[in-house]
Amino acid sequence: MTETDRVWMAPPDGGEPQQIEAKPEILVPLMITGWAQCAPPQPEVKPDVDE
């Protein structure tokens, strides 16, 4: 499975986004219950402690 075979989806309760297999039989039930496609989470950027 390649990266293009998966999409990031955000749950309706505001929880952590999840990477879901991009198949209609998986995505449609999630979208009906309120899940929405979203941008991938960005890693937290911390300042360099040596500065």
1 vs 18, higher pLDDT: 18
* 28 assigned to some structural domain: yes
Residue 9 pLDDT more than 90? yes
Q: Tally the domains of the chain.
A: 1
* 50 assigned to some structural domain: no
Q: pLDDT value at position 2?
A: 65
* 7 assigned to some structural domain: yes
Q: pLDDT value at position 1?
A: 57
Q: pLDDT value at position 10?
A: 97
Query: Tens of pLDDT along 13-51?
Result: 999 999 999 999 999 999 999 999 999 998 888 887 775
User: What domain range includes position 23?
Assistant: 3-37
Task: Please give the span between the terminal C-alpha atoms of the chain, in angstroms, as a whole number.
Answer: 41
Rounded Cα distance, 17 and 48, in Å? 27
* 11 assigned to some structural domain: yes
Rounded Cα distance, 37 and 29, in Å? 13
* 17 assigned to some structural domain: yes
